Amino acid sequence: MLSMTGYGRATCERDDRRLTVEIKTVNHRFLDLSIRMPRNLAFLEDDLRKGIGERLTRGHADVFVTYVNHRADAREVTVDKALFNADAEALAAVAGTDLRDDRSLMAVAKLPDVITVTEAEEDREALKALMKEALTGALDELVAMRTREGVSMAEDLLYRAELIEKMTGEIEVRYPDTVAAYTERLRKSVEELIGQNVDETRLLTEVAVMAEKSAIAEETVRLHSHIAQLREVCGRTEPIGRRLDFLVQEINREVNTISSKSQDIPITKLVIDMKSEIEKLREQLQNVE
């Protein structure tokens, strides 16, 4: 089991190039990527998305890519000679005024747009290799953190499931007493109403109808089955969040059915406690991949 919350960071440095990938994830129904990277690395985005998609299936991921190039050929310096000459001629035209004439090569070169520094064309293959290595390291760290948190979450889910199963057993034990209690209440009510002994045949018929309407054996059997499946699914290594969502929905459905059938206060109290544990299961499942 994996959590959808985690963080991973890795840096790859080679040939005076350094690229860092950071990934922070939180829960989300689907895989949702938000990538921030320098514009000159935009060509890496498709490979970045593909690499993340191979390791993650659900969750919102904020991905940050930073890049530094210290190579001597990392930048290109160009001189606009036409602009340089035009600036020099314009300054010469106003020479001889009262202002001090400090014209020099450097002074003219410092004028706007005469010298332009631009980023050189990057070696795409070298950057792809850097990105792949850094991304692998960041994802390894991220998945390791999500795995550690997933272990804790699995323990809590199994504990909640055990509580629900225990209460299911208590309901199964309690149910026969509810039929006997209903029989006795019905007998007393009829005797008080008509003032004579009850027709046992009619009484047993009414009790049988009540027992059929309130029978919960099917629901408790399915509850045991769903909980057994939940335990089995929690032991899997692939993404299981959606399957667990379905199982908890089914568990909740059976508990609601028991609640609607039962007229017994102790069973009703157990059902309320079961619903409380189901809500805790749902809260945990929001963060399971």
Helix, strand counts (H, E) of the chain: 8, 6
Output the pLDDT for position 144. 94
Residues 6+ apart with CB under 8 A from 52: 23, 31, 33, 61, 63, 135, 139
pLDDT at 139 over 90: yes
Say yes or no to pLDDT of 12 above 60: yes
Q: How much is the pLDDT for 188?
A: 56
Q: Does pLDDT of 199 surpass 60?
A: no
Indicate the average pLDDT of the chain.
83
The DSSP code for 236 is -
- Higher per-residue confidence, 81 vs 22: 22
Quick: pLDDT tens for 232-242. Answer: 998 887 888 88
The closest alpha carbon to 55, from 33, 75, 37, 73, belongs to 33
Residue 30 vs residue 99, higher pLDDT: 30
Sign of CA dihedral 34, 37, 39, 43: negative
Q: What pLDDT sits at residue 107?
A: 78
Q: Is the pLDDT of residue 87 over 70?
A: yes
* pLDDT in the model for residue 72: 66
Q: Does the pLDDT of residue 212 top 60, yes or no? A: no
Contact 6, 143 (CB under 8 A): yes
Q: Is the model's pLDDT at 184 over the cut of 60?
A: no
Q: What is the pLDDT at residue 192?
A: 52
- Residue 31: predicted pLDDT: 92
SS3 111: coil
